[in-house]
Chains A and B, each alone.
Chain A
């Protein structure tokens, strides 16, 4: 079956621009997670959805970051006024529920010039 997919795989943007990163979870998975991974580091938790609602958004670094999951499936991570420090790989993962194994997508590599 299809795994978690993320689009685009690579995104290059200029400082100050707005970007949207998309995650398609495994069908039927109610839990969805966004992480950010910088070079040489482990994934850093950003936000966790259970269904349509954000159950924990404590990892979002500031109010330039926002994520939605309006129908409980696809999720979009939105970054406003991008900064060079936002450059990283953004990983999405889904799981059957919050206590199960997380399946990761390949990530979106964001580069802010």
Chain B
């Protein structure tokens, strides 16, 4: 079965700092990759997704992620974070053969104003 690892459990940044959150998965076949965000008191929302094509994916709110197949990674990046980016971020993998999402453990980001 596939697994997803997010090595940073808590990240604290100042506004305007650059962000990179790591995500690695273990599955040798074709995968669909996702980043979800959960703002305090709100639902999970989809930030971006990768199915195929350009491995550099642009999402909402200035986020992007790069799929590196050889490294089994799908790291999330943002050049300049804002206080409003404070949230918990989840990486997820969906194996092509089914619709089940496997989530990583989540990374809690706090951006200090």
- Same complex: no
